């Protein structure tokens, strides 16, 4: 079973054109990067090599191999139960951000381009892909100290990241920027993969739909790719969380050019557009993305006058 729909060339056409993960997984190369992956690679019903995506150990090992092969990341690991994100979709967000920041046809590169990752998580994937793809630097914030400790271990194991990713603990569950954004900070963008669901039950129901769409059967109530409470659900779900980002972005509007967040549900957008009008955002963009059967979008807004 494959995660994404393929075209006749064996590519995932819905992914961003610069996304290096458009082709089928090259398992021989990935196994060479992380030999342990060989244990999980099997022929699927179509006679092609794949892994069992319902197996969290297989998915984590695949991620380890992808990050090693494409981004020179060694010994990537996360604590048990934490979100193990699909790398191709995460890379798409980064490449669409690069398009958003592009001026006069030039993609901005280098450490002077600075991003704020709201909810960096234990996996630290967005800063990794952003830095290794474009040389950007990042501040990653999270309310979970265990997650930050995990992200810090990944950075320490990969010395080429240490000067470009700064991690900060957010001590308040209601604050987004206050307490972690310092007066001297300037950001070209913020990004966020918000908790999409409003409850654990909703998260589990969403996972069951994913397994059904993938043709997989899961007998127990487990979460797709793992995930802690703060990673997957919060009261009010994504609408409340992103709404909080929008409201509080006014406080730091002079310190950031573009504020962005993933939005999973199309039905969430009208309320967010209304709120953006209320806070007087000067420009709002909605960037459509698609990874196989999953459709999402990036909501971006700015307070810049020109």
For the chain, the domains span: 79-302
Q: How far apart are CA 149 and CA 190, in angstroms?
A: 21
Place of tokens 């409003």: 198
Ranges of beta strands (E only) in 33-157 are 42-43, 49-50, 114-118, 137-142
Q: How far apart are CA 168 and CA 187, in angstroms?
A: 15
Q: Phi/psi of residue 203, each to 5°?
A: -65, -45
Please give the structure tokens belonging to residue 234. 């919060």
Q: How far apart are CA 158 and CA 73, in angstroms?
A: 6
Question: Do residues 23 and 10 lie in contact, with contact meaning Cβ atoms separated by under 8 Å?
Answer: yes
pLDDT of 148 > 70? The answer is yes
Cβ burial 237-252 (10 Å sphere, 16+ → b, else e):
bbbebbbbbbebbeeb
Specify the pLDDT at position 291. 73
End-to-end alpha-carbon separation of the chain, Å?
47
CATH code, residues 79-302: 3.40.50.150
Specify the pLDDT at position 13. 82
Question: Do residues 114 and 186 lie in contact, with contact meaning Cβ atoms separated by under 8 Å?
Answer: yes
Q: How far apart are CA 239 and CA 233, in angstroms?
A: 11
Q: In what order do the strands lie in the sheet with 283-291?
A: 165-169, 137-142, 114-118, 187-192, 256-263, 294-302, 283-291
Element (H, E) at 291: strand 283-291
As a residue count, the chain comes to 306
Ranges of beta strands (E only) in 121-234 are 137-142, 165-169, 187-192
Lowest mean per-residue pLDDT among 96-110, 226-240, 264-278: 226-240
Confidence category of residue 45, pLDDT binned at 50, 70, 90: confident
Specify the pLDDT at position 100. 98
Confidence category of residue 215, pLDDT binned at 50, 70, 90: low
Q: What is the mean pLDDT of residues 173-182?
A: 96
The count of C-alpha atoms lying within 13 angstroms of the C-alpha of 36, restricted to the half-sphere facing its C-beta, is: 12
Specify the pLDDT at position 290. 83
Confidence category of residue 54, pLDDT binned at 50, 70, 90: confident
Q: How far apart are CA 121 and CA 192, in angstroms?
A: 10
Helices (H) and strands (E) in the chain, counts: 9, 9
Q: How far apart are CA 304 and CA 306, in angstroms?
A: 6
């Amino acid at each position: 079973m494959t995660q994404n729909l393929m075209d006749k060339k064996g590519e995932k056409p819905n992914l961003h054109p610069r996304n290096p993960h458009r082709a089928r997984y090259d398992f021989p190369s990935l196994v060479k990067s992380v030999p342990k992956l060989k244990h999980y690679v099997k022929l699927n019903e179509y006679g092609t090599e794949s892994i069992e995506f319902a197996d969290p150990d297989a998915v984590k090992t695949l991620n380890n191999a992808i990050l090693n092969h494409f981004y020179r990341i060694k010994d990537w690991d996360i604590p048990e139960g934490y979100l193990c994100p699909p790398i191709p979709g995460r890379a798409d967000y980064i490449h669409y951000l690069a398009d958003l920041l592009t001026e006069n046809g030039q993609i901005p590169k280098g450490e002077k381009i600075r991003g704020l990752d709201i909810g960096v998580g234990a996996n630290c994937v967005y800063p990794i892909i952003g830095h290794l793809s474009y040389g950007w630097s990042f501040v990653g914030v999270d309310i979970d100290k265990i997650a930050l400790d995990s992200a810090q271990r990944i950075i320490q194991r990969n010395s080429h990241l240490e000067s470009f990713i700064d991690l900060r603990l957010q001590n308040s569950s209601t604050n987004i920027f206050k307490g972690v954004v310092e007066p001297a900070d300037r950001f070209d963008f913020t990004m966020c993969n918000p908790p999409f669901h409003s409850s654990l039950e909703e998260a589990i129901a969403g996972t069951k739909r994913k397994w059904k769409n993938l043709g997989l059967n899961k007998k127990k109530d487990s979460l797709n790719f793992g995930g802690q409470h703060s990673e997957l659900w919060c009261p009010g779900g994504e609408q409340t969380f992103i709404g909080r980002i929008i409201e509080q972005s006014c406080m730091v509007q002079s310190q950031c050019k573009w504020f962005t967040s993933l939005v999973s549900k199309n039905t969430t957008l009208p309320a967010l557009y209304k709120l953006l009008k209320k806070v007087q955002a000067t420009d709002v963009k909605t960037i459509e993305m698609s990874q196989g059967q999953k459709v999402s979008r990036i909501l971006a807004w700015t307070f810049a006058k020109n």
